[in-house]
Structure formats: C-alpha cells, structure tokens
Amino acid sequence: MIQHIVLLKWHTGTTDAQVDGVLAQAEELVRGIDGVEPVTLGRNRSIADHGFTHAFIVSLSDEDALATYLNHPVRDRYLTDVLSPVEAERIEIDVPDDSPHRRRSGTSRSWEWGATRHSASADAAALRWEEKDDEL
C-alpha cells in the first residue's frame, strides 16, 4: 500500500464553495483510475500557521498503481481544470505503508514507557534459570 499525500494551500479569495467543489470532484480519481483505493480528504485541524488548510490522502495498492495514478489523464485533468485555478501551493509526498505502528490489544502497549518488553537478554536469563532448575 502506498499513501500519496497532498497538502493544499489556496489562493487568497478562494471561497468555501470552491474548496467544496474541489473536494467533491476528487471522487473522479477513485472512479476513473484503477488501483486507487479510498481517497481521504479534509481540513487541517492543527493550530500550526503554515497556510496548508486541506489534505488528500490517496491510497494506492502498490508502486505500479502509483505510477499509473501519477500519469493518468483523469488526474491530469483534475489538476489542470479543478485544482490549479484555486491552489496557491501544493506539496505531494508518497509514503509506503510498509511498517505501520498500530496499537496492540490490551492495556500494555510496547511503545509506552514502563510497558513489558520482550528481549533477548530476558529470554537468555529465563533459559539459564530453567536449565539450572532442571539440574536440581
């Protein structure tokens, strides 16, 4: 899975109705391009004042789907006819979803301070204890 992440900054004077239209027409990307999984879009919720107010996250099945998406006429038309007239700046990055960190079930999570961690040294100590116990 590849996440194609797009951050958008609008031209001064771009209306909410224009932004809504840009977001609504993003459905064409899902319907018109094979390999595009869901497209997540929305408004920035952070208080950072960088000017990027909206984001698209386009989920693609693999590297081939990304290449197809980036060079597809439906995307080209969307960028030229829909996005370009109202965007001031756009940042695009592609991030593979090859090492996700997800919450584990239960109350202890391996990334929290104080959580129980499985380690090679603990395994070795347990093995030495078991071997010693077997000798008695």
Which pLDDT belongs to residue 48? 82
- Residue position matching structure tokens 């899902």: 30
The tens-digit pLDDT sequence of the chain (136 residues) is 899 999 999 999 999 999 999 999 999 998 999 889 888 999 999 888 899 999 999 999 999 999 999 999 999 999 999 999 999 999 999 998 776 666 666 555 454 444 444 445 555 555 555 555 555 5
Residue ranges of domains in the chain, CATH in brackets? 2-95 (3.30.70.100)
What's the pLDDT score for residue 114?
46
Q: CA nearest 4: which of 88, 67, 73, 89?
A: 67
Cα of 119 vs its chain's centroid, Å: 30
Cα–Cα nearest to 54, from 1, 91, 96, 12: 91
78 φ, ψ (degrees, to nearest 5): -60, -45
